[in-house]
Structure 1
Amino acid sequence: MRPLLRPLLKAFAAPRLNMREDYQKVRRLQRHLTALPRTRYRAASWRTVPGDPGSHVPVRVFQPREKRREDVLAFFHGGGWVTGDIESYTPACATMADLTGCVVVSVDYRLAPEHPFPAGLEDCYQVVRLLLDEPGRAGLVDPGRIVLVGDSAGGNLAAAVSLLLRERGHVGVRRQILLYPVTHWDHDPATTPFASVREHGADYRLTSTEVQDYMEMYVPDPEHRKDPRVSPLMAGDLTAQPRTLVITAELDLLRDEGEAYGQALSGAGTAVRIHRVPEALHGFITLPRFSRSLRDAYEVIDEFLEEPL
């Protein structure tokens, strides 16, 4: 982002929604925007059964225009566990499929506050388990070709699914890509251990107040927010995790906690690459394909996927 634009973006960042009161308005706006005419994407709907009796998790499968890899990217969208869905992330997932040459499986997990932790996490976990147990559903021969991918709250869910797989004795996922993930519970500038929250918690795309509102809606009980399935950085044991790519945004309040998680995984013996996209804002994975930040990130993602298993 050009330095001359920063003051302008800060000025527009001042008036903010109260997410605890206005999350329904955000969802309606997202539905309205996704209803606008746009290019048709090569996608097919598919449904699977999660752990909760009688419920289903909608899953959308995106085929790339040119399939260059056998990997399947299991994608968990962002939105603070409260907003976002398959529809609003359809352009981003279509771009992901085309730029990586991989099939992308987008998971429409349940949202808070109607479905607080661990509902959304369990939905994501069940979809990954089904891909591991029945890889043919996504055109896989080797379930080891599944790559977990998530942005923001979705990055949090990807990391938590990896921890759950190890905890519950399941193996198979060898790689994960965490895009500016939430990895810690404290985003109060007065108490946070991360400088990026203090530096960017009131600026640009996302504020510390919004993140705290999202966290309170997702995990109403403050004691549970330190659970590693909510705050992966709080995990006492980070061994046996998938090879990891962490991508952060320079001007994002979540920057430091994402990089700290990558460093913690590396310290526990996991092969990790950490890449900070310069001048990037939170949420850049949803930008148009000509975006410099998006191109930067996909160059690194492409290199990561090219590495031998």
Structure 2
Amino acid sequence: MSALLRLALRAVARAGRFDVREDYQRVRALQRRLAALPTARYRTPTWDTFSDAPDGHRVPVRVFAPAERRREDLLLFFHGGGWVTGDIESYTPACATMADLTGCHVASVDYRLAPEHPFPAGLEDCYGVARGLLEDPGRAGLTDPDRIVLVGDSAGGNLAAAVSLLLRESGHRVPSRQILLYPVTHFDHDPATSPFESVRRLGDRYRLTSTEVQDYLDLYVPYPALRRSRLVAPLMAEDLSGQPDTLLLSAGLDLLCDEGEAYGRALAEAGNRVRIHRLEEALHGVITLPRFARPLKEAYEVIDEFLEQGP
């Protein structure tokens, strides 16, 4: 990437920054409006359903069917947005793209958001949906639970990793595969104290900043002592054995790059099958880019190869 393009990206990122604590409700509303326009950019058939969370409440799920179904896999998707923004409406274009480009059904989970519902509410919702489908895949029209693949981007990647850990620890069936897209895996994003070079190098340059990540974490986990929990920071887990085959995609211009890759290496060191791929010229949030964007095309080439290997 040229120096001029990097400068342009930094300028755009800075112009679009906001105060997470003060503006999160306005961001939610803006995301929904942007996702709805123009409606012609996706035509993937969808239907809405519900799944039961452990405490009995209903979790909305939106299912996307590809224009051409090429695989029997179901991608169970947890959206990003720092556990505070994002929902099945704002992620509808991204999930429609995911369904079409993978040839899979995609089930997007509308988990509860902080600060109204802090940790572990969102995780409980994702866990409940995943556990229910893995125990009874017939609810999703499947006969083989190994066809269920967990997918999450950013905070959603964090939730997918935490769900896999929680399933194994609870003695329940673990998914055969997971795709973690530039996930949050650590609790410290302060450039002065973070152990990761990408936080120090990229923490104030592009789309996502260190301050924003820390603000998101503060809203998601109001009690600082809990932020070191393996279910908030999966990289802190002492036992990473028995986890799904994992594809970990990182973005080279993302402050989360190093911690995501560190989690992939930790999974591999624990005996799991892992592929780590860095999208060198990509910013945080690749999966939400338009279909013609080169980083998105590269991402789906790698995802397609991973899915092609099967369970």
Q: TM-score band, normalised by the shorter chain?
A: over 0.9
Corresponding residue of 2:215: 213
Corresponding residue of 2:106: 104
Q: For residue 39 of structure 2, give the secondary structure of its aligned residue in structure 1.
A: coil
Corresponding residue of 2:5: 5
**Structure 1: where are the runs of 5+ without partners?**
none
Equivalent residues of 1:2, 1:279 under 8 A apart? no
1:173-184 pair list within 5 angstroms:
173-184=175-186
Equivalent residues of 1:72, 1:104 under 8 A apart? yes
- Measured in 2, the distance between the counterparts of 1:284 and 1:80 equals 15
Deviation at residue 136 of structure 1 after TM alignment: 1.5
- Measured in 2, the distance between the counterparts of 1:117 and 1:161 equals 13
The answer as to 2:44 corresponding to 1:57 is no
- Cα offsets for 1:229-251 (capped at 9, x unmatched): 00000000000000100000000
Equivalent residues of 2:151, 2:180 under 8 A apart? yes
Pairing partner for 1:188 from 177, 187, 190: 190
Equivalent residues of 2:70, 2:104 under 8 A apart? yes
- Cα offsets for 1:253-282 (capped at 9, x unmatched): 000000000000000000100000121000
- Measured in 2, the distance between the counterparts of 1:199 and 1:176 equals 28
- Cα offsets for 1:116-174 (capped at 9, x unmatched): 00000000010011111221221111011110000000000000000000010012411
Tell me the amino acid that sits aligned with residue 225 of structure 1.
R
Equivalent residues of 1:13, 1:202 under 8 A apart? no
Corresponding residue of 2:37: 36
- Measured in 2, the distance between the counterparts of 1:154 and 1:184 equals 14
Relative to structure 1, the CA distance from residue 291 to residue 13 in structure 2 (aligned partners, 3 Å threshold; closer, same or farther) is closer
Corresponding residue of 2:50: 47
Tell me the amino acid that sits aligned with residue 181 of structure 1.
P
Relative to structure 1, the CA distance from residue 35 to residue 288 in structure 2 (aligned partners, 3 Å threshold; closer, same or farther) is closer
Q: For residue 14 of structure 1, give the secondary structure of its aligned residue in structure 2.
A: helix
Q: Normalization by structure 1: what TM-score?
A: 0.97
- Measured in 2, the distance between the counterparts of 1:95 and 1:10 equals 26
Deviation at residue 292 of structure 1 after TM alignment: 0.5
Deviation at residue 38 of structure 1 after TM alignment: 0.6
Aligned length in residues: 308
- Percent identical pairs in the alignment equals 70
Corresponding residue of 2:21: 20
Relative to structure 1, the CA distance from residue 14 to residue 63 in structure 2 (aligned partners, 3 Å threshold; closer, same or farther) is closer
Q: For residue 20 of structure 1, give the secondary structure of its aligned residue in structure 2.
A: helix
Corresponding residue of 1:274: 276
Deviation at residue 5 of structure 1 after TM alignment: 1.5
Relative to structure 1, the CA distance from residue 300 to residue 21 in structure 2 (aligned partners, 3 Å threshold; closer, same or farther) is same
**Structure 2: where are the runs of 5+ without partners?**
none
Tell me the amino acid that sits aligned with residue 11 of structure 2.
A
Q: For residue 152 of structure 2, give the secondary structure of its aligned residue in structure 1.
A: strand
